[in-house]
Amino acid sequence: MPEQTQVLRIKRQETPNSEPYYEEFEIPYLPYHNVVSMLMEIRRNPVTRQGKRVAPVVFNANCLEEVCGACTMVINGRVRQACSQLASGLNGPVTVEPMTKFPVVRDLWVDRSKMFDYLKKAHAWIPIDGTYDLGPGPRVAPDVQQFAYLFSRCMTCGCCLEACPQINSHSKFMGAAVIGQVYLMSQHPTGKMNLDERLDAMMSEGGVADCGNAQNCVEVCPKDIPLTTAIAAVGRLTTIKWLRDLFMK
């Protein structure tokens, strides 16, 4: 009986400014292979389907358990985590491409720096005065903790930006991930102390008003984070702040 094989059609690019091209590889089919392990198999013996030896495919992966967000790729036309996508769930030849909303470093590796820059712009952290003992923190209701935990699972993977039609060359929209983190910080009693400066970022260029409500973000989020809930909530908060600022002038 002939051995089953899996064909991967990979979009490659040698430098950030070079022209992309596709190469096909054929490897033994294993139903519990994930896309990362398939790429590792190719890296062990980087020979194309046509028998040409080439440079190993470059990609980014860290945790291999859908926690770090580093291995986000477009697989068969849908953005997803390469570490959790199994071969058994893919039909026919598998097309693997880098995300399109981020600069390509090489092959499937992209630079997601702008997402972390957006988090800095939105002050998406809770500042403290120092590392000394500040005593017990304010109590948070269990139901608030439970809902806020959903947003704490964000791994800045970039899926929501890749799927968002508002993220393009004509827009500076920061995307749903950072809005979700602003919402998360607003749920914490200490975080609320700095809410105004976060809302200032959300009211600036690329903020929540630029969201087109396509709702693609919740469809592709690997952690099922209710991002549209955060967008609606932060939108209300910015409206209240705008009215408050208007009447306080």
The pTM score is: 0.91
Distance CA 85, CA 221 (A): 14
| pLDDT at site 243 | 93
List the chain residues with pLDDT less than 70.
1-2, 129
pLDDT for 40: 96
Looking at residue 190, its pLDDT comes to 86
pLDDT score of 1: 46
Q: Do residues 203 and 209 make contact, with C-beta atoms less than 8 angstroms apart?
A: yes
pLDDT at 2: 57
The pLDDT assigned to 53 comes to 97
Tell the burial category of 148 from Cβ atoms under 10 Å away from its Cβ (0-12, 13-18, 19+): middle
Angle of the 227-247 helix axis to the 176-186 helix axis, nearest 10? 70
